[in-house]
C-alpha cells in the first residue's frame, strides 16, 4: 500500500530503489544528503541500548544488501506508528522508505565494520516482499568501498515496484510481466530450468544439455571473461574447458550435496572457475568435457575463494537451474591454451604462502613409492610423495592422491615438473604442496619459461648444492633452525605485520587463563562460534540457528616468555586438546565436578618450558593494528637437537667477515 509521501517519488507509476546508495553512503560519509535515498527494509528488530539506538535492520538498495542499520531513538514513535516493529517486517511486508540521512555511524561494534544510521525517514510503501530482479544478484556489502571495485550504477538494472503491485525492473518494461516476489508462506512455482530434466518417458536416459545450441550463438557477441563482475549486466561468455574436476560429495549445513567445479578460458587467455551444486552439479558434470567450448550465462557472480581458486580471477561463477551452459561447435570452437604458470613462485617463497594456491616449476629430486593406508574412520587412501627442488636449493614434497598417485611415472628423477594450482599446506611446522581438484602437472613443460635453465642447473649444480628441506616438522633440526626466533627479536622486528610469519619459539609458560579456557560453541560442523544462551536455548549468530545443543571448545590463552621478552598466545581446537591431553568436554566435566582439580591442572602447566610453533599475524581492532599470536604445536624441547641447531648458528656467526 502506497502512502501519500510516495507520490513525489513516483516515475511513470513506479517506485524505484536508489541503486547503489549503500555504496554511496560509505563513499561520501555525509550525515545529510541532498537527494533522498530510497531503500527497502527486509529485516527489523527492536533493540534499545545506551547509544541512542532504537532498532536494527537489514536493508537493500537494488544492488546491495547490508546490515546492521540502526534507527535513532528519536524515531521510536514514528517506527511504531508506521508498523515497523518486531515480527511485522517479513517476506510479505518489507517496507520501502526514503531518507536524506543514511550515513556510517562511528559506533564500536566489536569489529572493523561500521553500521549505517538513519536519523529521519518517510514511509513510502508497505505490504510487498523484498524487491528483486532476475538480472541482478544482490551483493552483501562489506562496509568498505575498496572491497567493491568496478561497481557502476549504470551496469545494474534499477529495481522498481509498480503501484498496481507487479514487481519488475525498468529494463523489463516491454517484456512479459514477471510474477510478484513470493512470500515464504506461499512459495512460487519453480522457473523453467535450463539444466533440463529429461521428459517423464525417458527419466532413465542421460540428462539433456542445459540449453541446445541451434547455431544462433555465432551471431551473438560474447563478454570477455576479464569483464565479469557482480555488477555486469546481461553478460554471456565463451570459453574452452581447461580443467574438469571430479564430481564430489560434500557435507553442508542442510546435509550432503554434490559439487562440481570446472574452469573455462577465453581467447584472451583469461580463466574463470565455475561451480555447481546438487542436481545441477550432476547434470553439469555429464555435459561438460575437457577441451570443450561452452557458452555460459545467467550465473551468480561471487567473490573467488583464493584458497581453492588458482585462476587469477577476482570472481567465480555459481551455476544454478536457470543458467545457460551450452556446447558450441564448428567455427565457435576455441583451441585449448598452452600450459601456463601464471601464479608461479620460487620454492624458497613458499613459507610466506601457507594456505594459498600457487604454481611452481622445479626438478624432480626423488619419486617415493605409493603408500596405501587406512584412516581412523576406515577409509582407504593412496598417497605418493614427489620431492621437488629448484635453483634456490630448497626442497619440498609434492603430494599426490588416488589415481594421480598411482599413475605418476616412477623413473622421472631430474626431469622438470610444472605444477599448477598446488595448495601450500603446513603440518607440525613442515610444508608440503598438496594436490586438489584443480591441480594439474606437466612433465617437461616446454611452453613454460625457464624450463631449459632449470634442467641445466640440475645437471650441472645439483650435486654441489646444500639443500634446505621445507617438508620437515617442528621437531626436526631443519625446521627448528630455519624458523627459531627469540621473542624479543620477534616483537622488535614486528614479525607478522604485513605478511603472516610462522616461527619456532622456546619459552616458559608464565600465565595461563583457566577461567576462559573452554566455552560453549556452535554444534554445527566447521563452526566454532560462541553461542548465546536465550531461555534455555543456544543461539549461533554466525549460522543463524537456535537450538538446545552446544559443544565445548578450547580457547587457551597463555603468556610465554624467554630471556628477551614475552607474548600472549592462543591455542584452539585440536592443538589445545593435544597440549592439554584431554578434550574440552572432559575438561568441562572436571570443572563442574571438581573445581579444585580443575585449577590444579592449570597450576601444573605454569612455568613449564615448551617448544612452540607460533603464527604471528596482523589484525586491526578498534582502528588499532596489533600482532596476534596463535599456537599450532607444542612440544617438550629435545635439547640435543636444540643444542645442535645453536652450535650451527654460532659457527655461521663466526664465519661472517668482520669489517
Q: Does residue 185 fall inside a structural domain?
A: no
pLDDT number for residue 198: 37
What's the pLDDT at 111? 61
In sign, the C-alpha dihedral spanning 226, 230, 235, 241 is: positive
Give the pLDDT score at 252: 67
Does residue 433 lie in a domain region?
yes
In this structure, the answer to whether residues 365 and 461 fall within a common structural domain is yes
Lowest-pLDDT range of 33-37, 253-257, 389-393, 584-588: 253-257
> What separation in angstroms does the CA of 55 have from each of 71, 93, 542?
5, 17, 20
Q: Is-contact 136 229, C-beta < 8 A?
A: no
Of 342-351, 376-385, 558-567, 616-625, give the range with the top mean pLDDT.
Answer: 558-567
Q: What percentage of the chain has pLDDT greater than the value 70?
A: 85
Average of per-residue pLDDT across 64-83: 87
Q: Are 512 and 576 in contact (CB under 8 A)?
A: no
- 231 with 302, same domain: the answer is yes
**Domain identity same for 25 and 158:** yes
Do residues 343 and 227 lie in contact, with contact meaning Cβ atoms separated by under 8 Å?
no
Same domain? 322 vs 366: no
Output the pLDDT for position 3.
85
User: Which of 40-44, 191-195, 370-374, 530-534 comes out lowest in average pLDDT?
Assistant: 191-195
Q: Residue 163, CB half-sphere, CA atoms under 13 Å: how many?
A: 13
Residue 38: which of 70, 71, 67, 5 has the closest Cα? Answer: 5
Q: For residue 497, is it within any domain?
A: yes
Q: What is the mean pLDDT of residues 467-481?
A: 64
What count of residues does the chain have? 659
540 vs 430, which has greater pLDDT? 540
> Among 443, 469, 495, where does a domain finish?
469
Range of the domain at 403: 347-469
| Among the ranges given (177-181, 500-504, 553-557), the one the predictor scored with the smallest mean pLDDT | 177-181
Residue 178 covered by a domain: no
Residue 237 banded pLDDT, cuts 50, 70, 90: very high
Phi first, then psi: what are they for 124, rounded to 5°?
A: -110, -40
Residue 431 has pLDDT above 70, yes or no: yes
Could you tell me which residues are beta bridge partners of residue 273?
263
Split at pLDDT 50, 70, 90, the class of 659 is low
Q: Among 3-12, 39-48, 164-173, which stretch is predicted with the lowest mean pLDDT?
A: 164-173
Is pLDDT of 211 > 80? no
Task: Answer whether residue 190 is part of any domain.
Answer: no
The reply to whether 23 and 165 lie within a common domain is yes
Residue that finishes a domain, picked among 274, 297, 332: 332
The residue from 157, 172, 187 where one domain ends is 172
Please tell me the least confidently modeled range out of 202-216, 363-377, 594-608: 202-216
Q: What is the pLDDT of residues 112-147, one digit of tens each?
A: 678 899 988 999 998 888 886 555 567 888 888 888
Tell me, yes or no, whether 141 and 235 share the same domain: no
What three-state secondary structure class fits 614? strand
Contacts of 183 (CB under 8 A, 6+ apart): 90, 91, 92, 129
What gap in Å lies between CA 551 and CA 591, rounded to an integer?
15
Question: Are residues 162 and 111 part of one domain?
Answer: yes
Q: How confident is the model at residue 436 (pLDDT cuts 50, 70, 90)?
A: confident
Q: Are residues 39 and 61 in the same domain?
A: yes
pLDDT at 135: 52
Q: What is the mean pLDDT of residues 410-439?
A: 85
Q: Assess if residue 338 is contained within a domain.
A: no
549 and 620 fall within a common domain = yes
Helix ranges, 241-297 (H):
278-287
Give me the pLDDT at residue 256, please: 81
* Domain shared by 313 and 353, yes or no: no
CB burial of 57-85 (b: ≥16 within 10 Å; e: otherwise) equals bbbbbbbbbbbbbbbbeebeeebeebebe
- For residue 52, pLDDT over 60 is answered with no
HSE-up of residue 20 (Cα within 13 Å, Cβ side): 17
| 3-class DSSP assignment, residue 226 | helix
CB 264 within 8 A of CB 294: yes
Q: Does some domain include residue 409?
A: yes
In a domain, 186, yes or no: no
Sorting pLDDT into bands at 50, 70 and 90, what band is 276? very high
Rounded mean pLDDT of 342-352? 88
User: What pLDDT is stored for residue 478 in this prediction?
Assistant: 55
| Nearest CA-CA partner of 317 in 277, 282, 348, 257 | 277
Confidence of residue 167 (pLDDT cuts 50, 70, 90): very low
Are 528 and 573 in contact by the 8 Å Cβ rule? The answer is yes
DSSP-derived secondary structure for 115-152: PEEES--EEEE-S------TT---EE--S-GGGSTT--
Percent of the chain at pLDDT > 90 equals: 33
CATH code, 216: 2.40.50.140
- Please give the average per-residue pLDDT across 177-199, as a whole number: 36
575-629: pLDDT as tens digits: 899 899 999 999 999 999 999 999 999 999 999 999 998 888 888 777 777 899 9
| Structural domain total, the chain | 4
**Which pLDDT score, from 0 to 100, does residue 206 have?**
40
Residues 587, 549 share a domain: yes
Band of pLDDT at residue 160, cut at 50, 70 and 90? confident
Task: Compute the average pLDDT of residues 361-379.
Answer: 84
Examine the pLDDT at 103 and tell me if it is beyond 50. yes
DSSP summary character for residue 225 = G
Instruction: Decide: pTM greater than 0.75.
Output: no
Q: Are 505 and 611 in contact (CB under 8 A)?
A: yes
Instruction: Read off the pLDDT of each residue in 78-92 and give the average, rounded to a whole number.
Output: 81
> Is the Cβ–Cβ distance between 402 and 369 less than 8 Å?
no
pLDDT of residue 186: 34
Q: How many CA atoms lie within 13 A of 512 on its CB side?
A: 23
Instruction: For residues 489 and 514, state if they share a domain.
Output: yes
- Cis previous bond, 68, omega within 30: yes
Give the residue-averaged pLDDT of 482-508. Answer: 86
pLDDT, residue 133, reads 56
List all residues 6 or more positions away from 475 whose beta carbon is below 8 Å from its beta carbon: 428, 429, 611, 635, 638, 641
Least confident among 26-35, 240-249, 382-391, 425-434: 425-434
Average of per-residue pLDDT values in the chain: 82
Confidence band of 273 (pLDDT split at 50, 70, 90): very high
For position 497, what pLDDT does the model report?
A: 83
Higher local confidence (pLDDT), 525 or 414: 414
Amino acid at each position: 500500500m502506497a502512502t501519500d509521501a510516495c507520490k513525489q517519488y513516483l516515475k511513470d507509476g513506479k517506485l524505484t530503489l536508489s541503486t547503489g546508495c549503500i555504496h554511496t553512503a560509505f563513499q561520501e560519509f555525509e550525515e545529510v544528503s541532498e537527494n533522498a535515498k530510497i531503500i527497502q527494509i527486509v529485516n527489523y528488530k527492536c533493540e534499545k541500548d545506551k547509544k541512542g539506538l532504537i532498532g536494527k535492520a537489514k536493508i537493500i538498495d537494488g544492488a546491495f544488501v547490508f546490515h546492521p542499520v540502526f534507527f535513532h531513538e528519536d524515531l521510536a514513535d514514528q517506527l511504531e506508528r508506521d508498523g515497523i516493529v518486531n515480527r511485522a517486517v517479513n517476506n510479505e511486508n518489507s517496507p520501502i522508505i526514503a531518507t536524506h540521512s543514511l550515513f556510517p555511524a562511528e559506533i564500536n561494534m566489536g569489529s572493523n565494520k561500521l553500521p549505517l544510521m538513519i536519523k529521519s525517514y518517510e514511509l513510502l510503501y508497505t505490504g510487498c516482499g523484498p524487491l528483486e530482479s532476475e538480472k541482478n544478484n544482490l551483493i552483501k556489502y562489506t562496509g568498505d568501498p575498496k572491497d567493491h571495485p568496478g561497481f557502476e550504477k549504470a551496469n545494474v538494472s534499477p529495481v522498481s515496484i509498480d503501484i498496481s503491485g507487479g514487481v519488475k525492473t525498468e529494463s523489463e518494461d516491454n517484456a512479459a510481466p514477471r510474477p510478484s516476489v513470493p512470500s515464504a508462506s506461499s512459495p512460487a512455482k519453480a522457473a523453467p530450468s535450463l539444466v533440463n530434466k529429461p521428459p517423464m518417458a525417458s527419466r532413465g536416459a542421460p540428462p539433456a544439455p542445459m540449453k541446445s545450441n541451434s547455431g544462433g550463438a555465432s551471431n551473438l557477441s560474447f563478454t570477455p571473461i576479464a569483464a565479469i563482475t557482480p555488477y555486469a549486466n546481461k553478460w554471456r561468455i565463451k570459453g574452452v574447458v581447461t580443467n574438469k574436476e571430479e564430481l564430489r560429495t560434500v557435507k553442508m549445513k542442510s546435509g550432503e550435496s554434490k559439487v562440481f567445479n570446472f574452469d573455462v578460458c577465453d581467447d584472451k587467455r583469461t580463466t574463470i572457475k565455475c561451480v555447481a551444486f546438487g542436481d545441477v552439479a550432476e547434470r553439469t558434470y555429464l555435459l561438460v568435457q575437457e577441451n570443450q567450448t561452452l557458452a555460459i550465462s545467467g550465473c551468480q557472480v561471487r567473490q573467488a575463494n583464493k584458497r581453492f581458486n588458482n585462476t587469477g580471477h577476482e570472481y567465480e561463477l555459481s551455476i544454478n537451474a536457470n543458467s545457460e551452459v551450452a556446447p558450441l561447435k564448428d567455427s565457435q570452437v576455441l583451441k585449448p591454451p598452452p600450459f601456463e604458470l601464471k601464479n608461479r613462485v620460487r620454492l624458497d617463497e613458499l613459507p610466506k604462502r601457507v594456505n594459498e594456491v600457487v604454481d611452481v616449476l622445479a626438478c624432480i629430486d626423488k619419486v617415493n613409492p605409493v603408500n596405501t593406508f587406512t584412516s581412523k574412520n576406515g577409509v582407504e587412501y593412496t598417497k605418493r610423495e614427489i620431492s621437488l627442488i629448484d635453483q634456490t636449493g630448497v626442497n619440498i614434497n609434492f603430494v599426490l592422491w588416488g589415481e594421480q598417485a598411482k599413475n605418476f611415472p616412477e623413473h622421472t628423477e631430474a626431469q622438470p615438473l610444472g605444477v599448477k594450482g598446488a595448495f601450500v599446506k603446513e603440518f607440525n611446522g613442515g610444508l608440503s604442496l598438496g594436490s586438489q581438484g584443480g591441480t594439474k602437472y606437466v612433465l617437461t613443460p616446454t611452453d613454460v619459461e625457464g624450463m631449459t635453465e632449470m634442467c641445466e642447473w640440475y645437471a650441472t649444480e645439483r650435486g654441489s648444492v646444500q639443500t634446505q628441506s621445507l617438508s620437515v616438522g617442528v621437531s626436526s633440526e631443519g625446521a627448528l633452525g630455519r624458523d627459531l626466533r627469540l621473542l624479543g627479536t620477534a616483537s622488535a622486528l614486528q614479525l607478522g605485520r604485513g605478511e603472516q610469519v610462522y616461527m619456532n619459539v622456546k619459552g616458559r609458560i608464565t600465565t595461563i587463563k583457566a577461567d576462559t579456557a573452554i566455552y560453549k560453541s556452535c554444534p554445527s560442523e566447521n563452526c566454532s562460534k560462541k553461542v548465546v544462551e536465550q531461555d534455555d536455548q543456544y543461539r549461533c549468530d554466525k549460522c543463524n540457528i537456535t537450538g538446545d545443543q552446544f559443544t565445548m571448545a578450547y580457547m587457551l590463552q597463555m603468556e610465554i616468555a624467554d630471556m628477551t621478552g614475552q607474548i600472549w598466545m592462543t591455542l584452539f581446537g585440536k592443538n589445545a586438546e593435544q597440549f592439554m591431553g584431554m578434550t574440552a568436554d572432559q575438561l568441562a566435566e572436571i570443572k563442574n565436578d571438581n573445581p579444585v582439580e580443575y585449577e590444579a591442572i592449570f597450576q601444573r602447566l605454569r612455568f613449564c618450558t615448551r617448544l612452540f610453533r607460533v603464527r604471528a599475524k596482523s589484525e586491526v581492532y578498534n582502528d588499532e593494528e596489533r600482532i596476534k599470536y596463535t599456537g599450532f604445536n607444542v612440544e617438550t624441547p629435545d635439547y640435543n637437537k636444540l643444542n645442535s641447531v645453536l652450535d650451527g648458528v654460532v659457527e655461521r656467526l663466526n664465519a661472517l667477515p668482520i669489517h
